[in-house]
Chain A
Amino acid sequence: MNQTVAQPAQPVKLDERVTRKSPLRRLLGRPEIGALIGALALFVFFGLTADTFLTANAFSTILYASSTFGIMAVSVSLLMIGGEFDLSAGVMVTTSALVASMFSYQFSLNIWVGVAVSLAVTLALGFVNGLLYVKTGLPSFIVTLGTFFMLAGANLGVTKAISDNVATPSISDMSGFSAAKQVFASDLTLFGIQVKITVLWWLAMVAVATWLLLRTRAGNWVFAVGGSAPSARAVGVPVAKTKIALFMGVAFTAWFSGMHLLFAFDSVQSGEGVGNEFFYIICAVIGGCLLTGGYGSAIGAAIGAFIFGMTNKGIVYAEWNPDWFKFFLGAMLLIATVVNLVVRRRAEVSE
């Protein structure tokens, strides 16, 4: 369709209004940079104030704490880049664990059957979240708030109806348990340090999510549907499918976290998980995700989770009055949001 490219390329003239971007400036444009600076500062800070903070074991504990938030923050950050929230993410973890536990227990089946059923059920829940959002056109905040309450209620209602108790019976003596524990909740020794397997899964998920976001068509679509859904639709991006897939991504990590919960602690409290959804969102926001969508990174969310884990445990290591924990949390969130605002303003100067 083009004419011949005979037209000689115009001599490249540098735009006199802008100087070339230095590598430093380029780095500062990354979404996760604010979080990274924050993480380093916190690390140094706690390193100086808490004696045990800089030991290998402490580091491993912090990584474990970070990973349990971080695994969820991976998918939640993708969802937020795609412009949506999932408030049901916290209780969905519990739902997933309950389904696997009760299914195996009630039918006296191999644990892996419960694990598979749980995966199917949880993914279906994510699909329903996405479908409800797409079909109703309501804000995902409202839709998932609804499913949050429903799941919280169902967790308790079903658990009590089936086992006449609010916690599931221990499944540690059932067949398949030890193998599943190996996969979801074991300890490994790496370089002489005990590391929880969730840390490795977390890092793997961050890597996959980052690759997806930056190197695949799907990732392009995630940014597009979050940045401007009408524009994305106009150029042929399947907006509805992309959003549903993102909700299912959250469901997937909820399933994984649920399996960790189940196999690390044998029995599951049906009331657990409430409130965690906000911590996942906080991790993503600290890590540079915009609340309005279209911007952010999985690595950032991982750093956010690390900051969160570090703050969480750092206060314990420093042996401070734990009453201050939430104060720190709030301060971190504020700082992160301000940094993001600055980044966003720079990105949208001409708007």
Chain B
Amino acid sequence: MKRFATGGLAAVALVGVLALSSCSSSGGKEAAEEESKTAAGGGPRLKIAMVTHSAQGDTFWDIVQKGAKAAAAKDNVDFLYSADPEGGKQAQLVQAAIDQKVDGIIVTLAKPEALKDVLKKATDAKIPVVTINSGAAQSAEYGALVHFGQDETVAGEAAGEEFNKLGAKKAVCVIHEQGNVGLEDRCAGAKKTFKGQMENLFVQGSNMPQVKSSITAKLQAAKDTDAILTLGAPFAATAVDSAKEVGSSAKVATFDMNKQLITALKDGSIQFAVDQQPYLQGYGAVDELWLYKTNGNVIGGGRPVLTGPAIVTKDTADAIAPFADRGTR
């Protein structure tokens, strides 16, 4: 009879879920924009567009947006977000922002060449541009005011040093997106400072069971592996599972941050996290454009502003726990 009750509930619930999904299919962004319109702020109302190379549903970019929206609400800014992982399409989105006559553009330069021309158009149209996350090298050349981001190689180097402190000898760097320059740089940086031996492992990031079995396979093949570096927070937990399964004592560390990671850092299953503070990238970029429009300020005097690496360990995890908990760290 329990099953019967469950079935009835399920039917009612099904209706609920369907109703829910139908009314919120275009939800998050719009709702947030509504909020920002009502928020008060100083100066004239600005319109700022952010165009990133993010794939859909990426935790990292979600936090960047949250930071940007928080700054937008404070500064009385109308914040527009769009993204496409493909360079050409990202350029089209930037063009669309120019056509909309926005007051400022925030852009990522994951594929700098693809965006070069369209950014020229933006500066010609006297629209200030701020680059974030990737493209520190090209930022100034392409006419951007300033760059907010983490130097991936520097961050990788920091991770390598941390592993040295832990006394690791043989490490694996797990790349969850093949051909992504930023990820390759992280591994290359880590390899540079790491005193032991480090190899790359490619996994298919969109398929968690495959990530797990690949890490498991790697640990079975190279039994003396004593350190695993993942490049995204969700993969760290999976690496911990794999190590447990194989009976490996490999220490796991990761890039980026999320709520689950705090718990793992505290209980010691993950050694450290290299946080590039995505919230700061979004927040800083919007704030910079607002400052520039209202007061002509340029943060950092035009030099790239580094938002990371911020190393989070067991000792510092508690301090940022509440922020990670609400999804802004």
Contacts and interface: CB of A to CB of B under 8 A. Distances in A.
Interface of B is mostly: helix
A26 to B, nearest CB: 36
B294 interface: no
Contacts of A55: 220
B31 A161 contact: yes
B28 A272 contact: no
B95 interface: no
A271 B58 contact: yes
Interface string A146-177: 00001011111111111011110110000000
B20 A162 contact: yes
Interface stretch (B5-13, B123-131, B142-150, B249-257): B5-13
Interface string A108-150: 0110110011001100100000000000000000000000001
A61 B216 contact: yes
Contacts of A317: 217, 220-221
A52 interface: yes
Interface residues of A, number: 71
A105 interface: no
Contacts of A158: 20-21, 24-25, 27
Contact of A157 (B26, B209, B217): B26
B21 A170 contact: no
A318 B214 CA distance: 12
A57 interface: yes
A62 B209 contact: no
Interface in A297-316: 309, 312-313, 316
B17 A103 contact: yes
A113 B237 contact: no
Interface in A265-287: 265-267, 269-276, 279
Interface string B29-56: 0010000000000000000000000011
B271 interface: no
Interface stretch (A17-25, A244-252, A322-330): A322-330
B178 interface: yes
A218 interface: no
A332 interface: no
B202 interface: yes
Interface string B51-65: 000011111001000
A175 B260 CA distance: 19
A202 to B, nearest CB: 12
Contacts of A33: none
A273 B217 contact: no
A316 B57 contact: no
B186 interface: no
B11 to A, nearest CB: 8
A50 B221 contact: yes
A167 B59 contact: yes
B57 A166 contact: yes
Contacts of B25: 150, 153-154, 157-158
Nearest to B27: A161
Interface residues of B, number: 55
Contacts of A159: 57
Nearest to A97: B208
A316 B218 contact: yes
Contacts of A65: 209-210, 213-214, 217
Nearest to A319: B221
Contact of B206 (A161, A276, A325): A276
B319 interface: no
A124 B238 CA distance: 31
A264 interface: yes
Given A62-B217, A158-B27, A170-B260, A165 B62 contact: yes
A157 B28 contact: yes
B207 A325 contact: no
B56 A112 contact: no
Report which residue of A99, A153, A271 has the largest number of chain B beta carbons within 10 angstroms of its beta carbon: A271
Contact of B10 (A51, A116, A167): A116
A270 B9 CA distance: 25
B201 interface: yes
Contact of B207 (A121, A166, A276, A313): A276
B327 interface: yes
A154 B220 contact: no
A277 to B, nearest CB: 11
Nearest to B22: A154
A221 interface: no
B120 to A, nearest CB: 32
A191 interface: no
B57 A64 contact: no
B311 interface: no
B17 A316 contact: no
18 contacts: A113-B6, A116-B6, A121-B18, A152-B57, A154-B25, A158-B25, A159-B57, A162-B20, A162-B24, A164-B28, A264-B209, A265-B241, A266-B237, A267-B260, A271-B56, A313-B213, A317-B221, A322-B202
Interface of B: 6-7, 9-11, 13-14, 17-18, 20-21, 24-28, 31, 55-59, 62, 175, 178, 199-202, 204, 206-210, 212-214, 216-218, 220-223, 234, 237-238, 241, 245-246, 258-260, 327
Task: In the A-B complex, list the 9 residue pairs whose CB atoms are closest, starting with the nearest.
Answer: A271-B57, A322-B202, A161-B27, A160-B28, A65-B213, A68-B209, A161-B24, A116-B10, A270-B57
Interface of A: 50-52, 55, 57-58, 61-62, 64-65, 68, 90, 99, 103, 107, 109-110, 112-113, 116-117, 120-121, 124, 150, 152-162, 164-167, 169-170, 187, 194, 198, 260-261, 264-267, 269-276, 279, 309, 312-313, 316-319, 322-323, 325-326
Given A156-B28, A271-B206, 16 more contacts: A52-B221, A62-B213, A65-B210, A103-B13, A113-B13, A154-B25, A157-B26, A165-B62, A166-B58, A264-B208, A264-B209, A271-B55, A272-B206, A313-B217, A322-B178, A326-B178
